[in-house]
Amino acid sequence: MASVKYSILIIVFLFSCKSEQDKIPWVDLINNNSLEGWNIKGGEAKYIVEDGVVIGTTAANTPNTFLTTNEMYGDFIFEIDFKVDSTMNSGIQIRSNSVPYYREGMVHGYQVEIDPSKRSWSGGIYDEKRRKWLHTLENNQEAQKAFKQNEWNHYRVEAIGDTIKTWINSVPASYLIDDKTASGFFGLQVHSIGKNKDKLGKQVMWKNAKILTENLSKYTTKSTLQPVVTKNNLTVNEQKSGWQMLWDGKTTNGWRGAKLDAFPDKGWVIENGELIVLASGGGESEAGGDIVTTEDYSNFELQVDFKLTPGANSGIKYYVDTEINKGPGSSIGLEYQILDDELHPDAKLGSHEGSRTVCSLYDLIQANPEKPIKPIGEWNTAYIKSIDNHVEHWINDVKVLEYERGSEEFLKLVSESKYKKWPNFGLLEKGQILLQDHGDKVSFRNIKIKVPKIKK
Per-residue pLDDT tens over the stretch 395-428: 999 999 999 999 999 999 999 999 999 999 999 9
Return the pLDDT at 455.
64
Return the pLDDT at 260.
87
pLDDT over 90 (residue 451): yes
* pLDDT (average), residues 191-211: 90
Full residue range of the structural domain in which residue 417 is found: 236-450
Helix (H) or strand (E) holding 83: strand 76-84
Quick one: pLDDT band at residue 2, thresholds 50, 70, 90? Answer: low
d(CA 227, CA 174): 8
Domain limit, last residue, from 223, 248, 272: 223
**DSSP designation for 420:** G
Q: Are residues 258 and 285 in the same domain?
A: yes
* pLDDT (average), residues 372-392: 97
C-alpha angle 407-413-416 in degrees, rounded to nearest 5: 145
Beta bridge partners of 69: 38
Predicted TM-score (pTM) of the model is 0.90
Q: Are residues 393 and 255 in the same domain?
A: yes
Q: Are residues 210 and 339 in the same domain?
A: no
- Strand 46-50 relative to strand 243-245, pairing: unpaired
Q: Are residues 208 and 318 in the same domain?
A: no
Return the pLDDT at 326.
64
Over the stretch 227-255, which tens digit does the pLDDT of each residue have?
999 999 999 999 999 999 999 999 999 99
What's the count of helices (H) and strands (E) in the chain, helices before strands? 5, 29
Domain limit, last residue, from 171, 188, 223: 223
pLDDT over 70 (residue 261): yes
Over the stretch 316-363, which tens digit does the pLDDT of each residue have?
999 999 988 665 678 999 999 999 999 999 888 878 888 999 999 999
Split into its structural domains, the chain has a count of 2
Q: Are residues 196 and 261 in the same domain?
A: no
Over the stretch 103-158, which tens digit does the pLDDT of each residue have?
999 999 999 999 999 999 999 999 999 999 999 999 999 999 999 999 999 999 99
Q: Are residues 192 and 259 in the same domain?
A: no
Return the pLDDT at 327.
58
Beta bridge partners of 68: 39, 187
Beta bridge partners of 102: none
d(CA 386, CA 425): 16
**DSSP designation for 89:** -
Whether residue 151 lies inside any domain: the answer is yes
**DSSP designation for 93:** E
Domain limit, last residue, from 178, 197, 223: 223
CATH number for the domain spanning 53: value is 2.60.120.560
Quick one: pLDDT band at residue 220, thresholds 50, 70, 90? Answer: very high
Q: Are residues 327 and 382 in the same domain?
A: yes
Q: Are residues 58 and 84 in the same domain?
A: yes
Distances (CA, A) of 425 to 20, 68, 258: 70, 50, 18
Quick one: pLDDT band at residue 195, thresholds 50, 70, 90? Answer: confident
Quick one: pLDDT band at residue 429, thresholds 50, 70, 90? Answer: very high
* pLDDT (average), residues 197-220: 93
Q: What rounded mean pLDDT belongs to the chain?
A: 92
325 or 58: which leads in pLDDT: 58
Quick one: pLDDT band at residue 393, thresholds 50, 70, 90? Answer: very high
d(CA 357, CA 345): 10
pLDDT over 60 (residue 18): no
Q: Are residues 361 and 435 in the same domain?
A: yes
d(CA 261, CA 15): 71
Q: Is the backbone of residue 280 left (phi > 0), alpha (psi -120 to 50) or beta?
A: alpha
Return the pLDDT at 158.
98
Using an 8 Å Cβ cutoff, are 381 and 304 in contact? yes
Quick one: pLDDT band at residue 285, thresholds 50, 70, 90? Answer: very low
Whether residue 4 lies inside any domain: the answer is no
